Amino acid sequence: MNSLSSSLGRAPEHPRPLCVPGSAAQELPGSCHPGFSPVSRCLSPGAMLGHRGHHRPPKSQRDLSPEEQQELRRKINSRERRRMQDLNVAMDALREVMVPYASSSSPSSPSSPSSHSHHPGAPPGRRLSKISTLVLARNYILLLGSSLQEMRRLLGEVSVGVGGVNAGPVPRLLLAGGWPLISGPSHLLLSPESLLTTAASSSSSTPSHSTAKCAILSPGPVEAPLGAPVQWSSVGAPGGGSLCPCSVCRLPRFSHPSSVPRFPK
DNA sequence: TAGGCCATCTGGTCCT
DNA sequence: AGGACCAGATGGCCTA
């Protein structure tokens, strides 16, 4: 776990100021309210809106001394920080496999949180935002699914001509045909049936205002005619055509090797 | 300067 | 009881 934190680059030992009951010097302006009881002083309006409609610290917490409460709060904050950092590591891992959008500099460049700062339409050099990463990943999976289905269809056609699916060189020939990530993690090779189902169900719910034209963002891959597999290269691969006009795809095709620290000091 | 994105803090809830 | 997860709030950084 520590390895994950250390890989983030942002020194876990130097998190932002902690808001710990009883530690006024560390309080964030606006987030804590001196004068409240040690237990309730950090309540934000949102935090006050508990599902039960009232706030009452657990019995065990009420029984703790201020020092113990402070230590407990530090411990909880640390856990939450680490949890979010782990989530970011996973997000970076996802960005990496998001060819051709993946940022090579990101892996653990959380050390450069500033490079996060990006939004659709931003100039090249910015890595995918979290939401963009998730949206692209989803559609990327759908694209792979449709590609797999297409490949299976072609395999079927070719195998008929050469005497069967297990006929020697045919599969290898097709596999060498430039299918993106076709040899990637096996868990990505989902059943085309489930992908079709997913795509069909999601195509009606997918926001389309800015993504309808995008082969990556839209359910397009699944809807693509069978004889014409999606032209991946035209979407964002090096040497491909113009950038997709959608809001998410107007992103850098190539990762930037350098990243600017979010909090330069 | 506004808006987007992000990290962090926090309290509540659920699970083991 | 403790940890994981979640969602709201807050403030900082960056870009248009």
Q: Does the C-beta of A117 come within 7 A of strand C?
A: yes
Matching residue, tokens 């020697």: A168
**Residue A252: CB partners within 8 Å, gap ≥ 6?**
A101, A103, A123, A124, A125, A126, A127
Q: Does the C-beta of A43 come within 7 A of strand B?
A: yes
Encode pLDDT of A162-195 as tens digits.
665 444 444 444 444 333 333 333 333 233 333 3
Q: How confident is the model at residue A152 (pLDDT cuts 50, 70, 90)?
A: very high
Comparing CA positions, the residue from A118, A154, A140 lying closest to residue A228 is A154
Q: Does the C-beta of A162 come within 7 A of strand C?
A: no
Encode pLDDT of A112-123 as tens digits.
333 333 333 333
Matching residue, tokens 């090797």: A257
Tell me the nt nearest to A55, Cα to C1'. Answer: B11
- What mean pLDDT is predicted for residues A47-59? 35
C-alpha span between A142 and A196 (Å, rounded): 8
What is the CA A77 to C1' C2 distance in angstroms? Answer: 14
Tell me the nt nearest to A130, Cα to C1'. Answer: B5
Tell me the nt nearest to A83, Cα to C1'. Answer: C4
Token pair, residue A206, equals 């997918």
Q: Does the C-beta of A200 come within 7 A of strand B?
A: no
What is the CA A112 to C1' C2 distance in angstroms? Answer: 33
Q: What are phi and psi of A43, to 5 degrees?
A: -75, 125
Q: Does the C-beta of A18 come within 7 A of strand B?
A: yes
| pLDDT at position A145 | 93
Question: Is residue A24 a contact partner of residue A34, using CB atoms and an 8 Å limit?
Answer: yes
Least confident piece of the model among A56-65, A90-99, A100-109, A136-145: A100-109
| pLDDT at position A149 | 94
What is the CA A82 to C1' B1 distance in angstroms? Answer: 34
What is the CA A4 to C1' B4 distance in angstroms? Answer: 27
Is the pLDDT higher at A97 or at A261? Answer: A97
Per-residue pLDDT for A224 more than 80? no
Distance of alpha carbon A165 from the chain centroid:
37
Tell me the nt nearest to A113, Cα to C1'. Answer: B6
Q: Does the C-beta of A47 come within 7 A of strand C?
A: yes
